[in-house]
Amino acid sequence: MERIPILKMGEYLLVTIQVDMHDRVAMTLQDDLTARIVSAHAKGVLIDISALEIVDSFIGRMLGDLAAMSRVLAAETVVVGMRPAVAITLVELGLSLTGVRTALNVERGMELLRRRIAEQGRDGAGSD
């Protein structure tokens, strides 16, 4: 079975999707990512979808679900590298990806994660 690697970078997890996202791969990623957020005590998740050329409604919903699951586990999520064709498809499918923050590339995505985590720390949000 194909698995998407999840890399730990300090208090963040980096997910780089380099394969076609079939339903089974997407479901495995959800399980693997939620388990890794908990085990690594991750504060942020960066999902790079720059290699995805097309998405369907299931994959679009999966991205939104990943962000929602991460939030429930006290981790911010940023999706980076979205191609224009993917953005157009998501809009045409009526998927707004509520709660999903986006950035153009990995560097900007990491900066956005750092800012969001710092803001939460100042506001006292997410504390036990």
The answer to whether the CB of 87 falls within 8 A of the CB of 119 is no
Q: Which of 6, 5, 76 is nearest to 44 (CA)?
A: 76
- pLDDT of 67 over the 70 cut: yes
User: Cα separation of 77 and 72, whole Å?
Assistant: 11
3-state class of 46 per DSSP? strand
Rounded to an integer, the average pLDDT of 5-31 is 91
Q: What angle do CA 90, 96, 22 make, to 5 degrees?
A: 45
pLDDT at 128: 47
Find where tokens 């803001």 sit: 119
Check residues 52 and 21 and name the one with the higher pLDDT.
52
Q: Which of 65, 68, 12, 67 is nearest to 36 (CA)?
A: 12
Write out the two tokens for 97: 């990806």
Rounded to an integer, the average pLDDT of 47-55 is 90
- Ordered by where they begin, the domains of the chain are 6-123 (3.30.750.24)
Please state, for a pLDDT cut of 70, what percent of the chain lies above it: 95
The answer to whether the CB of 26 falls within 8 A of the CB of 62 is yes
Ramachandran area for residue 59 (φ above 0: left; ψ -120 to 50: alpha; else beta): alpha
- pLDDT of 124 over the 70 cut: no
Find where tokens 């970078």 sit: 9
User: Cα separation of 105 and 30, whole Å?
Assistant: 22
